[in-house]
Amino acid sequence: MVSLTVNGAEHSFDGDPDTPLLWYLRDELGLNGTKYGCGTGLCGACTVHVDGEAVRGCLTTVSDADGKAVLTIEGLSEDGSHPVQQAWRDLNVPQCGFCQSGQIMQASALLAANPNPSDQEILDGMQGNICRCGCYQRIVSAVRQASTGA
């Protein structure tokens, strides 16, 4: 039996402990904001926070999260008011939008660890998240805006 909190709520799971967090969140909890993009940690669409750190939900198993606090896009803020979410809207970042939950979770962890990243630190920090529509220019600007407020 695995116990964990997801967005502040306690959960336990007695299924396959090797189930990736991604599929647990989606299929068991119905938290669909976390997306499947590659299943091998190459695209970042499934990025969530475990104890405040950005991890790939497809490579992190439920048992890896035992006793830990998981945060998904649904729990990042109550009403979408996290500065990263706000910056994403201010700069009209998304096109199709599919990768953006993962991008936002990656960016918010990056800024939590490093509130004023350099441009290079932003580029390096976001490097694991693919956007096939090609919103990178706006993603980088939005991370910068969320960090500086400008």
Partner 1 sequence: MLHYLNKHFPLSPLPATGRAIIQNVSRRSFLKGATGLVVAMQVMPVDTASAFDPYPHGGQGMPHGIVNDPHVFVSIVPDGTVTIVAHRSEMGTGSRTSLPMIIADEMEADWDRVKIVQAPGDELIYGNQDTDGSRSLRHHIQPAREIGASVRQMLKEAAAAQWGVDAADVEATGHQVVHRSLGLRLDYGDLAQAAMALPTPARDSLAFKDEREFRYVGKGAVQIYDLHDITTGKAVYGADVSLPGMKYAVIARPPVVGGTVKSIESAAALAVPGVERIEEIPGSIPPAKFAPLGGVAVIANSTWAAIKGRDALVVEWDDGPHAAYDTVAYREELVASSNAPGKVVRDQGDAEGALSGAARVFTRSYYQPHLAHAPMEPLVAVANVANGKAEIWGPLQSPSVAREDIAAALGMAYEDLTVNVTLLGGGFGRKSKGDYATEAALLSQKIGAPVKVQWTREDDIRHSFYHTTSVERIDIGLDADNKPVAWRHRSAAPSFLSTFAPDSGEMHPVEVGMGLADMPYDIANIRCEDCKAMAHTRVGWYRSVSNIPRAFAVQSITAELAAELGRDQKDMLLEMIGEPRVLDLAASGMPEGFWNYGEPYEEFPNDTGRLRNVVELAAQKAGWGKSLPEGEALGIAVHRSFVSYVATVVRAKVGSDGTVRVPEVHVAIDCGFAANPERIRSQIQGACVFGMSAAMYGAITYENGRVQESNFHDYQMVRSDNFPEVVHTHIVPHGFETHSTGVGEPGVPPFIPALTNAIFNATGKRIRDLPIGDQLA
Which parts of this chain interact with partner 1 (CB under 8 A)? 15-16, 19-20, 23, 26-28, 30-40, 42-43, 45, 72-74, 76-77, 79-80, 85, 88-89, 92, 94-101, 104, 122-124, 126-140
For β-strands 9-13 and 53-56, DSSP reports them as unpaired
* Shortest CB 104 distance to partner 1, Å: 6
CB nearer to partner 1: give 53 or 124.
124
Q: Which residue has the tokens 């299924």?
A: 15
Kindly tell me which of 70 and 140 has the beta carbon lying closer to partner 1.
Answer: 140
CB neighbourhood size of 66 (10 A): 14
Q: Which of 44, 41, 42, 36 is nearest to 110 (CA)?
A: 44
CB of 51 to partner 1, least distance (A): 20
Cβ at position 97, least distance to partner 1 in Å: 4
Q: Which residues contact 150 (CB under 8 A, 6 or more apart)?
A: none
Cβ pair 109, 41 in contact under 8 A: no
The alpha carbons of the chain give a radius of gyration, in whole angstroms, of: 15
Q: Please, what is the minimum distance in Å from the beta carbon of residue 6 to partner 1?
A: 13
Nearer residue to partner 1 within complex by CB, 68 or 146: 146
**CA 133 from centroid of its chain's CA atoms:** 18
